[in-house]
Structures are given as C-alpha cells and as structure tokens.
Chain A
C-alpha cells in the first residue's frame, strides 16, 4: 500500500516535466517521422501515403547533397578550431595575470550576445567597401572584398562568426575543469622534471578529457543546430553556397511549403545527430578518465 503510494507520488512529480517533454519533443519527432511517409497536403488535396517516395526525392536532390556537404565542411572547420581556441583561452585566463576578470568577461561576451546581434556585428565587419575589414584592408592597400557575396568564401565567413561565438562558451567549461585540477599534481610533475608542454600533454589534457567529450558533443549538435546567423549574413546564398541542412529544412518547410519533404530532411538530420553523438560517446569514452 505504502509502496504503491510512493510510486504514484513519484509519477505525479515527474508528470509536469513529462507533459512538456512529450508534447514538444517526442510527439513532434514522431509526427515528423510519420509525415515523411506522406505527400504534402495542398489546398483541397489531402496528404496521401507516399511510402519512401520522399526519401527517393531526397537522394536525387542536388541541393540536399550540397547543404550536407556544406554542413560537413562547416562542422569540420568550426568544431576543432573553436575547441582549440577555447582551450587556449582557458589556459590563458586560468593563470595569474593582471586584469584576469576583465579578460575572462571579454572572452565570454560573445556567448551572452544573441546570435542575431552577433551576426549584425559581423555584417558590419564584412560589408564590402565600408565594413571594418575593407577599411583596414584599404588602409593597408588591399582591394575591396566581398566575403559573404562570393560563393567561394561565403561559408567561411559564416564559419568565422560561429567560431567567434562558440569559443567563449566552451572556454567557460574548460576554465571550470582546469580549476578542479589540484595544483599539487602540476607541482609533482614539475618536480619529476616535466616541462610545460609535457605537463600539458600528459597531465592537463588527459584530465580535461571528460570536458572535451562534453564540449565536442555540444559542438557537433550546435554545428547542425545554429543557423540564426545565416538569416542575417547570407540567407544561405549565393547559390546555396552557405546554406546548412537546418537552414535548408527551414526554406523547404516555410518558404516552399513542402512540409512532407521538410519532414523527411528533418528525419535525416535527427538520424545524423544521433549517430554522431552516440559514436562520439563510445569512441571517446574509452579514452576518458573520470574522477
């Protein structure tokens, strides 16, 4: 009797959380999966069962492959760089240095700013002719640039903004982790004759592995999830040169109103994220030492 009541109590406490989680996460995910097997309803024509037709379209869609490739470049470029920069910044501000609080705050500021605001700041940097980059470049005798307007460089322009935004956020995690490493470990390594680089490679870095795992999973998810700045900076152009998977999903769903195809793309995105997160977890986990 008492046991049953305990169960009821526990479920009641979990209920509010479950309601929201199911209503806004699990149910839409399942609906999306379901919709991907139907045609898009238009006007008086309701959705019809389409089987794997949408997935067929997807395989034959050159823009899908284009944005997927873009996303791969985007992830490969932003993740390692933002993690390395975060680590370097954390090591830097973890030391005794004058104005440490100010430097920490300065590094963290991009994280606090909304992505839309960040994109607007960078718009000012990138603007051809009178943007910051061109003004500095012009003063030094370089010609005018159009980073966001050219198909070759638009994606890289977007990537720089992402790195700038993400590095400060990841730095906070590294900084917290660095502060949990006892100084006596570093001192012991110094007494044993290890130099700065050896200490970093053999002591600090392995002890930061749990953080690296956490940060890299976050970075992977973010590389598929953060598209706010694309709206401001390039709108995915030119010619989809800077479009990412999620941005393409948005366009298909809310500009072309092809909801069934958008659902199909979303399913692919979810599967990708799942495989990456699980793979990363198992790949890294063996190498991670948890205290």
Chain B
C-alpha cells in the first residue's frame, strides 16, 4: 500500500482558550507521539473538541503554542499544518459525487488527473467504496458516508489525522465495525491519530493512549489499561468503567480507618466486590437490577451509595444486609481535596489489615 504516511508528533504547550468570559481550556499541555492513536475522552463540554479544533487550526489559541512535527504551527492555517480531519457530521459536499468528494483536496492542490485517479482507486479499494464512486452522498447509508469521509482524510497522505466523534451518528453494530476499521486503517497507514470521543468504550478499545479531560483540563494521560487499573484522579476513577467506581468515605470501613482525613475516598469497582460473610463492608440493599450474567445491586453503606456487580442471579429484598469483601489490590485511595490518587504505603497497609 503506497498510501502510507509517516506520522508526526503533536505538541500543545500551555494552551489557553477563552471565549469572551468563558475559559474553555486552561494551561493545557499535551504530547502526542508520532504514529500513535490517541483518544481524547471526556464528558460533553470538557473542551475536547476545542482541543482538536485548535490542533486543526480551525480555532486560534488565546495563549500558548501548537507544534506539529516539531514545527511551530500556531499561526498556520489548517491547510498549512499537514492534517486531515473527519467531522462528526462527516461534512461531505452534498453536490459532489463520492469520487469528487474524496479527491477534492488533491484537486485543490493541483495533483495531476492520472495521479488523482490512481490514488482514488487505491483508497476506494482500501475502503470498499468502488461501487459507489459515482453516487452522491445522500444516496449512501451512514456507514458508507463515514467511509467516504475516511477516504477523503487518508487520500492526501497527511501525517496527522484528526477525528471528532466520527462514530456518534452510527448505530451500535456499525459502530463496532467502523471502530475496528479505523484502527486497522491507522495501523496500516501509520499516521498520527487524534480521536475525540465521549464514549469510553471507543477510547479504551481503539487507542494506544487515552487523554482524559474534564472542565478544560487534562485529568490523566495513560494507556487504556493503566487508566482503568490506576486512575489518577477521582474523576478518572468515576469516568472509566461501567458501572462507575464506588468512592466510599472512610466511615464505610467502620472503625478500621478511624483518624484518616475526611477528604479520603476509597475507590472500589462494582465488579471487584464479592459477597463474603466476614467482609469488611456492611451495606443495606436498596434495589437490584438483573443484567443477564450478573446482578447489579444498589446498596447504602454508611450513608453513601454503593454499587456492586455480583455474579449470577440473586433475589434480594430491599433492606436486607449484605457483607462484601474486596481483594486489597483492587482498592484505590484518593484525596478529593487535592483531586489526586494517594500512594500512601501506611494507608495501604491499614486497608490490607481490614481485609483479614
């Protein structure tokens, strides 16, 4: 495949973006390694799309610098930055055929007709678009439109590809398929991918690295495994994983954690909890939801809400008391005042002791 492009690294340095009075991004610094698949994940309004549009050059920065491949591109137009982009709405030109849509950029750049045709054939084959080249976008299904948008992004062989929630308009089955396809395309062509999504499944299954954002700031940058196993902040802990991680106050562990600061929260994933007669957590059942293979139990533990995912079908009556246990390496400690993960050995030891 000759469409391969070598990725370039992207670097955001102390980027700030302000809209009138609203601060959208505050002192944001981010390194995206060349050729990586980086997902920018976060709830709506966290600034992830703004970040992407700043990399693309569709928004200007209020302060800070943007570097692509080591060049300072802060003042460059989108076209000068060597990027391609797939929009959430696909942004296909409705009056042009699929073929014209895909080669639009090449034509603008003055690539000769023969070369355009050759590359179009390659891309059409790669994305299985050959039968549709003469159709207008309106005559295509959502998935096919998505492929055309991908085709337009990869044909120019630019070193960086940006995607803004490209799968959010597709149904669930098609989304799974396109997820694998985009991943395959990125591996095969080797460009640097920045992929914005609010869907943690997409981020975790596709990306090499996940950038988790909240309220205009980066919460954590890590591999999908690490962000699940060692969330850096209470927000990261709650955002990654379904159902979200429980963050319990010290009181949930009874007398064992007396004297620790009130800002301490113990994080336990619902799937890490098991029923055990001598478990350290005592909780009252509030309700239960049957999920098929598991039962999701809603409990109350020392005034805090607690979710537990227990294997099998359980019939539970509200008000019933359950004792739950968890293995020590499945426990996380956070300080909500400092918004950070605690790696306090003595605290870890105390938590381990409760288990015995």
Contact = CB atoms under 8 A, between A and B. Distances in A.
A280 B88 CA distance: 37
B157 interface: no
A188 B94 contact: no
A188 B138 contact: no
Given A184-B87, A187-B58, A291-B138, A192 B95 contact: no
A67 B95 CA distance: 41
Given A189-B104, A192-B105, A198-B108, A182 B156 contact: no
Nearest to A206: B95
A102 to B, nearest CB: 21
Nearest to B155: A192
B188 to A, nearest CB: 22
A188 B156 CA distance: 13
Interface string A183-225: 0110111111110001000110011010000000000000000
Contacts of A26: none
B128 to A, nearest CB: 22
A289 interface: yes
Interface stretch (B7-15, B75-83, B249-257): B75-83
Contacts of A194: 79, 104-105, 108
Nearest to B77: A190
Given A187-B58, A207-B95, A291-B138, A193 B89 contact: no
A185 B93 contact: yes
A193 B91 contact: no
Given A192-B108, A192-B152, A184 B77 contact: no
A185 B156 CA distance: 17
B85 interface: yes
Contact of B94 (A193, A202, A207): A207
Contact of B79 (A185, A193, A207): A193
A154 B66 CA distance: 61
A172 to B, nearest CB: 23
Nearest to B158: A191
B109 interface: yes
Given A207-B94, A289-B95, A291-B94, A190 B79 contact: yes
A14 to B, nearest CB: 33
Contacts of B87: 184, 187-188
A201 to B, nearest CB: 11
A194 B87 CA distance: 17
A192 B79 contact: yes
Interface residues of B, number: 23
Contact of B91 (A185, A209, A291): A185
Nearest to A209: B95
Interface in A156-189: 182, 184-185, 187-189
Interface string B130-159: 000000101000000000000010001000
B233 interface: no
Interface in A48-79: none
B84 interface: yes
Contacts of A185: 91, 93
B268 interface: no
Contact of A184 (B78, B91, B95): B91
Considering residues A189, A192, A202, A209, which has the most beta carbons from chain B within 10 angstroms of its beta carbon?
A: A192
Nearest to B81: A191
A188 B91 CA distance: 6
Contacts of B156: 192
Nearest to B104: A192
B306 to A, nearest CB: 43
A187 B83 CA distance: 13
Given A289-B95, A291-B138, A193 B108 contact: yes
A191 B95 contact: no
Contacts of B88: 184
B120 to A, nearest CB: 14
Contacts of A193: 79, 105, 108-109
B151 to A, nearest CB: 12
A191 B93 contact: no
B56 interface: yes
A194 B156 CA distance: 13
A185 to B, nearest CB: 5
Contacts of B78: 187, 190-191
B162 to A, nearest CB: 8
Contacts of B83: 191
Interface in B217-261: none
A198 B87 CA distance: 20
A291 B88 CA distance: 19
Interface in B175-197: none
Interface string B48-83: 000000001010000000000000000001110001
B89 A184 contact: yes
Nearest to A185: B91
Interface string B88-104: 11010111000000001
Nearest to B53: A187
A187 B149 CA distance: 13
A237 B216 CA distance: 71
B91 A182 contact: yes
A190 B83 CA distance: 11
Considering residues B77, B88, B95, B156, which has the most beta carbons from chain A within 10 angstroms of its beta carbon?
A: B95
Nearest to A188: B91
Contacts of A187: 58, 78, 85, 87, 91
9 contacts: A182-B89, A184-B88, A185-B91, A189-B93, A190-B77, A190-B78, A192-B79, A193-B108, A194-B108
Given A182-B89, A191-B84, 6 more contacts: A185-B91, A189-B104, A192-B79, A193-B109, A207-B95, A289-B95
